[in-house]
Amino acid sequence: MSIINTLREKMGRLLVVVVGFSILAFVLTDLATNQNLFGGGARNVGEIDGEEISQEDFAAMVDNAMRSYGYPSGNPQLTQYMRDQVWQNLINQVAFSNKLQDLGLEISDNERVDMVQGKNLSPVMQSFFNQYLGSTEPVAVKNFLANINMYGPDAAYYFSNAEAQAINNRQREKFESLLTKTLYVTLAQAQQQYSSQFAFADVDYLHVPFSSVSDDQIGQISDAEISSYLNAHEDDYTVEESKDVEYVSFPVVPSAADSAMYSQQMAEIKAAFEDETTNDSTYAISMTEQGLGFNTYDPSALPNSLANNLTTLNKGDIVGPELQNGIYTIHKITDIVPSENAFARASQIVFFLAGKTPSEQSSVRQTARDVLRRINNGEGFEALAREYSDGQFSTSGGDLGWIRDTDAKVADVKDEVFGARRTGLINRLIERNDKIYIVNVTQTSIKNRYKVAQVIVEMVPSYETSNDVYLQAAEFAANVSNTEEFRDYAANNGYSVFQGTKIGKDAMSIGRLENARQIVTWLYGEASIGDVSDFDLDGEYVVAVYTNETEEGVQSVDDVRAEITEILKNEKKAEFIKSKLGGLSGTVSEVAAAYGPEAQVFSNQSVKMDDNSLGTLGFAPEAIGAANGLRTAGQKAAPQVVEGSGVVLIQLNSRTEASDLGDYTLYENELLQQASNRIVQNLLNAITEKIEVKDERYKFF
């Protein structure tokens, strides 16, 4: 019997590892019903271990999962993300179900009851009951199960799916335990783990960069050498199938006529606000395209165009219309009413003291005094806040905006801010709760709320504008039928041609085109090299020509020539440098002097085995290992190559061993956890690699 048929009959064997209950519930739905989810037919999105998956049913599963998570339809990124999750779930289900069945792993009746409705609920069941009941109390759970039909027509169905997932998760946990329980760590390994984190070497090292060796000194790199390297490293140069296109974009944006129309519309809205007979709230609600249209706001919740000018605004004032990022806004303050809370506006510069030594804190206080002095001498508060302030408001120049008297972010300086009788700098440092504050009150305390009528209108292209752009794109597409004609027509008519290269079958974007799945599907569907097609994407029309494809497999010599040439040059330069260093003796400083000015000497007083970089040289694990292998002061390691950088010669000045810890349990557990994580991931990889997966979703989505 096939794996999929087994899955149909034994719903409890399903397994989800990527996302949670909701996706599994809908995958289980389709597997448990009479739908032919993995039925045959020409429109298949792929095969998993020989079982075909139809496009229609896969799309339905994704739609169900989207609804279960509350994701909105029409969002290409979210939809593609969910497709990937559902697909990966199916792969994992097929891969694990077979192994679980072969092993005969079972959940006893008592264990099942305990994890599903007993005292030791599985995380899946806890999530389920919290969602339905808001509680996992045994009494509430038992009452739910006794009256499950009262919770809606789908409650029993969802409970069954949650139960199946909980059982599957437990089966997998047992499966993984068969391997993780075999893990052990010796005392020597734990000691080494501890030592790698706390023992360190004080070294001097000489560095000779590859750039100091000219190409003439190493000779030319031949095609035979490049081919030989490529043959020896094929796995590093294997690529997936990809496509190349060239395209012309026709953005659909408001025309000058559209802009004039919107400007006139906003002028009419302003005139209506100016008319005393207008019911401002009703009018704004009827006219706005976004937002509520009318609301009462605290100063801290007002739009910036109002908040920044609040002290000069009065009842009846109109602000706008303003145009920003294609959106018009206009506001009218219809009334100002009392508030129970006080509001003020201030900026601050904060210096953190927590975690610093007394000496460091003294230095911070001196810096704060210097900054306060510089402000008093006329330097800008905002610039100094950006330079010196700790915390989240440094990027805004210290501006806190309008703040409520109960706001936690002003708690330490509340008395100073809300007690200020005038605006300006509070000319002293305020130190509270391990922080030092410099405060500038920009608006003194008020106790007002504001009734605001607001109209927001987004400028969009008119039908005439959209149609004109469409006709331009259609005319372009009608006049070209191959790559040469495409390029000639674009050049002759002044169109900019953009390129999209190495487009994979799962690509969501192409160059500057963010939502380009239509084009990708076309490339991997019926299109042939030289074909031209037009597309209606979000906010633009695109005409594209399919120019080239790269087949799956090892790249050609021409494709990797430059990259491999650079690698081979560096290998030869490394040998050149090593050879020259080999003829020199003495300390690294003496060797550097004899080598020449190209050799630079650096120091590092704390090189640990756990490190992976050496100073400014970057990633250098071999050099780190060599440094920690030295034991005698003055001892030098063999020259080490730092990839992409040069050659280093390391000399030990001293080595500090980690003190004896006595109890190494912490490091034993650390190694066990690392090994456990690896074995779980390797288990998943090993099992999924044993099944054949044919993924052709790109032809449909």
Residue 595 to residue 209: CA distance in whole angstroms: 12
Residue 515 to residue 123: CA distance in whole angstroms: 37
In this predicted structure, what is the pLDDT of residue 10?
31
Flag whether pLDDT at 40 surpasses 50: no
Residue 485 to residue 487: CA distance in whole angstroms: 5
Flag whether pLDDT at 152 surpasses 80: no
DSSP 597-643: TT-EEEEEEEE-TT--B-GGG-B-HHHHHHHHH--STT-BPPPEEET
Identify which has the larger pLDDT, 377 or 154: 377
In this predicted structure, what is the pLDDT of residue 34?
34
pLDDT in tens, 235-258: 999 998 999 999 999 999 999 999
| Contact status, residue 486 vs residue 544, Cβ threshold 8 Å | no
Q: Which CATH architecture has domain 254-460?
A: Roll (3.10)
In this predicted structure, what is the pLDDT of residue 52?
84
For residue 607, give the nearest of 207, 206, 199, 208 by alpha carbon: 199
In this predicted structure, what is the pLDDT of residue 30?
43
Percent of the chain predicted with pLDDT > 70: 93
Q: What average pLDDT is seen over the chain?
A: 86
Task: Please name every residue paired with 460 in a beta bridge, in sequence order, or none if there are none.
Answer: none
Task: Please name every residue paired with 370 in a beta bridge, in sequence order, or none if there are none.
Answer: none
Residue 584 to residue 588: CA distance in whole angstroms: 10
Q: How confident is the model at residue 168 (pLDDT cuts 50, 70, 90)?
A: confident
Q: How confident is the model at residue 42 (pLDDT cuts 50, 70, 90)?
A: low
Flag whether pLDDT at 25 surpasses 80: no
> Rounded to whole angstroms, what are the CA distances from 441 to 246, 318, 378, 405, 444?
56, 27, 16, 14, 7
DSSP 498-535: EEEEEE-TT-S-BTTBSS-HHHHHHHTTT--TT-EEEE
Six token digits for residue 661? 């810890």
Q: How confident is the model at residue 98 (pLDDT cuts 50, 70, 90)?
A: low
pLDDT in tens, 296-339: 999 988 988 898 888 888 999 999 899 998 999 999 999 999 99
Six token digits for residue 544? 């594209």
In this predicted structure, what is the pLDDT of residue 700?
81
In this predicted structure, what is the pLDDT of residue 102?
73
Residue 399 to residue 111: CA distance in whole angstroms: 58
pTM of the model: 0.61
Task: Please name every residue paired with 244 in a beta bridge, in sequence order, or none if there are none.
Answer: 548
Q: How confident is the model at residue 68 (pLDDT cuts 50, 70, 90)?
A: low
In this predicted structure, what is the pLDDT of residue 645?
93
| Contact status, residue 148 vs residue 159, Cβ threshold 8 Å | yes
Q: How confident is the model at residue 31 (pLDDT cuts 50, 70, 90)?
A: very low
Per-residue HEC secondary structure of 200-261 comes to: EEEEEEEEEEHHHCCHHHHCCCCHHHHHHHHHHCHHHHEECCEEEEEEEEEECCCCHHHHHH
Torsion angle of the four alpha carbons 317, 321, 324, 326, in this order, in degrees rounded to the nearest 10: 150
In this predicted structure, what is the pLDDT of residue 560?
93
Q: How far is CA 669 from the centre of its chain?
A: 31
Q: What number of other Cβ atoms are within 10 A of residue 384's Cβ? A: 19
For residue 650, give the nearest of 614, 631, 622, 623 by alpha carbon: 623
Instruction: Kindly list the strands in the beta sheet with 242-251, ordered across the sheet, starting from the edge strand earlier in the chain.
Output: 498-503, 242-251, 540-550, 532-537
Spatial neighbors of 289 by CB under 8 A, at least 6 apart, are 456, 457, 458
pLDDT in tens, 625-673: 999 999 999 999 999 999 989 999 999 999 999 999 889 999 999 999 9
pLDDT (average), residues 72-93: 81
At 659 the three-state DSSP class reads: coil
Q: How confident is the model at residue 85 (pLDDT cuts 50, 70, 90)?
A: confident
At 185 the three-state DSSP class reads: coil
Among 34-48, 62-76, 505-519, the range of highest mean pLDDT = 505-519
Flag whether pLDDT at 127 surpasses 80: yes
Q: How confident is the model at residue 175 (pLDDT cuts 50, 70, 90)?
A: confident
Identify which has the larger pLDDT, 686 or 599: 599
| Contact status, residue 245 vs residue 500, Cβ threshold 8 Å | yes
Indicate the residue type of 453: A
Flag whether pLDDT at 505 surpasses 90: no
Domain boundaries, the chain: 3-176, 201-233+559-656, 242-253+463-551, 254-460
Q: Angle at the Cα of 241 (from 236 to 242), degrees rounded to 5?
A: 110
